[in-house]
Amino acid sequence: MDEADRIADVDAVPDDGTLLCSVRDGFDEDEVILTRLGGDGSVAAWRNYCPHWTDVRLDRGSGASVRDGELLCAKHGATFRPGDGECTHGPCEGANLDPVDVTVADGGVYLTDDRFEFDGIGPASDVDLSTGSRIDFSGN
């Protein structure tokens, strides 16, 4: 594995939340959320946008929440199975999150998706964290 592709130690990926990181596709930045699957150390990775409104991120800038074992969209509360990314409840029920290829090796999580290069932990620098004109279930 190339150390430039190492996102984080496996232990840094929570199973009751997500680890947010930024990636690059050329000059374009994107965001990915990582979450641990069960106790075997496997990790799933998803692009940080909601299939309901694809211009809306899943989180509020610190990684998507996990509630009752499912990933949560902060906008309208849609829930997604962390293992296959399918929406189990919400306005996009049946739709899937966009998967990102990662591999666990040597105690670390590596980005193995040819579309992207790893950029860093945390939100992408060019992402607008404001809610914009979209209205969420909290009225914000």
3-state secondary structure 72-99: ECCCCCCEECCCCCEEEECCCCCCECCE
Nearer to ligand FES, 30 or 119 (CB): 30
Residue 6: CB minimum distance to ligand FES, A:
30
Specify the residue, 7 or 50, whose C-beta has the smaller distance to ligand FES: 50
Query: Is 78 or 109 the residue whose CB approaches ligand FES more closely?
Result: 78
Strand, coil or helix: 5: helix
List interacting residues with ligand FES (CB under 6 A).
Answer: 50, 52-53, 56, 73, 75-76, 78, 90-92
How far is it, in rounded angstroms, from Cα 135 to Cα 85?
24
Q: DSSP label at 134?
A: -
Minimum distance, C-beta of residue 108 to ligand FES, in the bound complex (Å): 30
Distance CA 56, CA 67 (A): 19
In this complex, which beta carbon is closest to ligand FES, that of residue 13 or of residue 73? 73
d(CA 30, CA 21): 9
Least separation, in Å, of the C-beta of 57 and ligand FES?
A: 9
Non-local CB neighbours of 107 within 8 Å, separated by 6+ positions:
9, 10, 11
Name the minimum Å distance from CB 68 to ligand FES: 16
